[in-house]
Amino acid sequence: MQYLTKMKASAHKSIVKIMNDLEDFRWGFSLISLALYFLRRLRKAISMGSFRLASSLPPPPPPPLSCTVSQFLHEEIKAPLIKEDSETTVPVHDQEGNVSQQTQSCVMKRKGLRYEEKIMQEGTMACEAHRKGLHDKSSRINSDVLIEKSGPDSLRIIKVGEEDHDNGATNLKKRPGRLVVPQYCPKVELAQEDRKLENKEFEVQGRDFYLASKKGRREVMEDGYGVMIDILGDAKQAFFAVIDGHGGRAAVDYVAENLGKNIVKGLQNVGCKEDGQLEQAIRGGYLVTDKEFLSQGVSSGACAATVLLKDGELHAANAGDCRVVLSRNGVADVLTTDHRVNREDERLRIENSGGFLHCRNGIWRVHGSIAVSRAIGDLHLKEWIISEPEIKRVPLTSDCQFLIMASDGLWDKVNEQEAVDLILRGKNSIESCKKLVDMSLSRGNIDDITVMVINLRSFATNAC
């Protein structure tokens, strides 16, 4: 009986010992599994960090990307735990350069291993070239690589322009090539920003006229002017023009050089006060100048406002939005009407001839391009941007004091009566023209500004 009791006690102790050993084994196994889990997560975190570091490096992006991917794939090949048909989480770059986790089936076959070895070789060469800072042709070829999905379960790195001659890869769906963004160079932009805008301005004081002009924020000064005095040997005849160009200086320079000459050429056969003949000569001068400039095939254009003083009369003409203002005993009298597409008659003319208007930046424009409806030049819109001027004849009487001719750089910010009042206070001096320019600038004008003031007292004579 005692023997049985001892046997039971011994068996109980053995069972307790075995249970304790099993419990210790379970805890040990759990700790090892936990350690392996953290090691696996740490490995994935390191891989993710490598991809993110590669994507954050400055351009050119291919070298760091190829280095990182080759290292990642090199680690994958060394890992002994990857088996056939096993699932693993692989970081993949999408088309926007973001890294995402995609769980996919990794079928490691011999052909796939050959791809990986090729990847390691190309990636290692690209890394070496990138670290050494080589910029020759060979290093650029080796480092200029793209990530591409080759087969359903592997990543492949190929060179730009490389052709896959492997017959087994003909059925693989290729990923579109990445857009290689040029390296950002802040010095170029800073050089342009630091370049001060040319503060080009000039003043002209001639016989019976004053002029002030200042360049706006454009690269090129596109305003101009023209003056002809003592026409046909007559001191009482003169021609004045203010010109506002667009699309460059070609049209401005041509109009300044030729418009007055073409008008004067038409005046040679015009008698004193022949009805309509003088206006026809002015209109013909505009049209001939336009035709001759268009024959050069240049696409720029120019608005113009002109004044012809002849035989005690004033003939104001314009095509575009330059403006002529007459001071009659201190009261502003606008002699021209701007040719812009907000005029109902101009809009209908353009639309009836097959053109259309488009609002851009709050301004209606012909075909979305030009805000004026008449100008000299503008070859690409000549069917709708005509050069025929509107002309107004005014007798020069004792109440005619002076004219103000200016581009829209003035009139967009200063009204006509303000301009007349300022000229009167300045007594028709060059300083008055400069003050008008400064007034427009102080109100936010960024366009070119040209202001011309003409004293009419010397031209008021009895008609012949």
pLDDT by 10-residue block (mean), the chain, 464 residues: 72 80 82 85 78 56 46 44 40 42 41 49 54 46 40 38 43 43 37 42 91 92 94 91 95 96 87 75 97 94 97 95 96 97 94 90 89 96 96 95 96 96 87 95 95 92 51
pLDDT at residue number 309: 95
Q: Indicate the helix (H) or strand (E) that contains 26.
A: helix 2-56
Residue 325 in contact with residue 358, Cβ under 8 Å? no
pLDDT at residue number 442: 95
Residue 150 in contact with residue 172, Cβ under 8 Å? yes
pLDDT at residue number 268: 82
Residue 227 in contact with residue 308, Cβ under 8 Å? no
Residue (of 305, 226, 241, 237) closest to 270 by Cα position: 237
- The beta-strand segments (E) located in 341-428 are 357-360, 363-366, 376-377, 390-395, 400-406
- What is the Cα–Cα distance from 401 to 208, expressed in whole angstroms? 12
- What is the Cα–Cα distance from 326 to 403, expressed in whole angstroms? 5
- What is the Cα–Cα distance from 47 to 88, expressed in whole angstroms? 13
The CATH number of the domain covering residues in 199-337+392-459: 3.60.40.10
**Radius of gyration of the chain from its Cα atoms, rounded to whole angstroms:** 42
pLDDT at residue number 139: 41
- What is the Cα–Cα distance from 281 to 264, expressed in whole angstroms? 8
Q: Domain map of the chain by residue range?
A: 23-187, 199-337+392-459
Residue (of 258, 207, 276, 205) closest to 236 by Cα position: 207
Whole-model pTM? 0.58
Structure tokens at 286: 């505009």
Residue (of 324, 375, 373, 376) closest to 353 by Cα position: 373
- What is the Cα–Cα distance from 77 to 352, expressed in whole angstroms? 74
- What is the Cα–Cα distance from 463 to 108, expressed in whole angstroms? 105
Residue 448 in contact with residue 223, Cβ under 8 Å? yes
Residue 355 in contact with residue 384, Cβ under 8 Å? yes
